[in-house]
Chain A
């Protein structure tokens, strides 16, 4: 029994991986494939697996249409703005929780911060929608930047707290003995060590903000149009412009994918770490 297991399971395991790899890769291939086809070759039977005459028309449309490019710029502004704010605040708070945790409520407050993420986003955006109305924040960049702090700030705080916890306090103590001020000790000793974690946190919060949809759907849509709000406008009453939707999909998925490849280890860790240690 055991011997058959040793011979059989590796083969089964590899077959399973192969099947899953096809399952994972095919939709990615199909995104690109559809973006390269003219509309009449989409939704044909049999399916057009390899476009005979690939065309960059849909990509040209995305890159020259002012609504499409404008939406990508809006998304860039919002994702970057919210990332700067949430990493700045989250890094300070993470350091605070890591080094002075007990003075500021300890684990409880940190956990309580994170638990705000357990509510579905709609719970936050429902009251915010009206509050934004009073302050003229609906349909503005700054409004969405602030709104995205609701999910990104607890995340950055929690992640940064964890990264700071990995740096032994004795390093700072040694710096104090050498006569460093707390600020200088932070800059010279702690910061260089925490930098990889800081970069990963930055990238992760950027990706989350970049890909967000429901908040954007509810509080923007006229003056400010993040890219997720533009995609539905490509569904016309009589046809769906699949090639343009998929060209848009390719273009907006490239930045997160490049980030993933560049920071793979940290990103995959961060994706689960944030909540895995609740």
Chain B
């Protein structure tokens, strides 16, 4: 990732001067314009909408009406939103920790204890196949596995004579079950696998004393990645619990979806998306700063 290459400019050879001056803009321009049209532009409009009351279909707010920070005041005092943020704190915190820890252990075990190359590649492929499932499809699969009556998880427990909980039927257990589904789909991060290859240590002591410190930055990167995913998390929640029972397992993005596309309270939903987006960026920046301090020490 060196930037030195950029310091060398193209040789100026006669008629190619024009190419050289125009080329950067011709190459990068179309992408910048496209991203502006499909992402930045709409989001700026949505930023303006977040200061408006707009409820298409309603009588009073047929058109966007400027209401200042009302939408933000509404959401920060909304119990259901705060509830969804608490759910996210649990889901994001515990989920990311477990997934990153599992990914690290898997990578290390795979490299250190599987000598046979074919077996190692086979296992690695097996661990990544779940990632190829559409999140929606994975959610349905786990919904089936977790069915309270007749689901195979409770089937196993029944055979063993153990209690058979209603996995998706309550707040914390529901969130945890969704977390299991999400862990199944994506826990092996390749950056960790690569790291394990380079820094493979064969014993726990060595792992703790040498490998873990070396892996720290990669683990943080993996955590950032997983955290970003958790932030955007939607599909599996949508199919597995639909935010229920009631609204107990709702996460912020799902709540935003309901406000925007069930109630058509567009201004409020816009305010929500901006709070979530800025929250995401601020979280990343904090992670980033932490990582920098770790590097400097």
Contacts and interface: CB of A to CB of B under 8 A. Distances in A.
B260 A126 contact: yes
B112 A13 contact: yes
Interface stretch (A53-61, A64-72, A189-197, A254-262): A254-262
The 4 nearest A-B residue pairs measured at CB: A43-B150, A96-B27, A123-B273, A93-B31
Contacts, number: 301
A5 B204 contact: yes
Interface residues of B, number: 108
Interface of A: 2, 5-6, 9-10, 13-14, 16-17, 20-21, 23-25, 27-28, 30-31, 34, 42-47, 89-90, 92-93, 95-104, 106-107, 109, 113, 115-124, 126-131, 146-147, 149-150, 153-154, 157, 162, 165, 168-169, 173, 176, 181-182, 207, 210-214, 217-218, 228, 231-232, 242, 245-246, 249, 252-253, 256-257, 259-261, 264, 267-269, 271-272, 275-278
Contacts of B281: 115, 118
Interface string B220-248: 01101100100110110011000000000
Interface in B276-297: 276-277, 280-281, 284, 288
B49 interface: yes
B256 A122 contact: yes
Interface string B1-36: 111011110110100100110011111101110110
Most buried by B among A14, A24, A95, A124: A24
Contacts of A271: 131, 190
B140 interface: yes
B43 A43 contact: no
A105 to B, nearest CB: 8
Q: Is the interface of B mostly helix, strand, loop or mixed?
A: helix
B42 A131 contact: yes
Given A116-B35, A157-B31, A214-B235, A122 B152 contact: no
A231 to B, nearest CB: 7
Interface stretch (B75-83, B90-98, B141-149, B169-177): B141-149
Given A13-B108, A256-B132, 13 more contacts: A17-B110, A24-B126, A24-B129, A30-B141, A34-B144, A127-B45, A149-B34, A173-B8, A176-B10, A213-B235, A232-B239, A245-B140, A260-B129
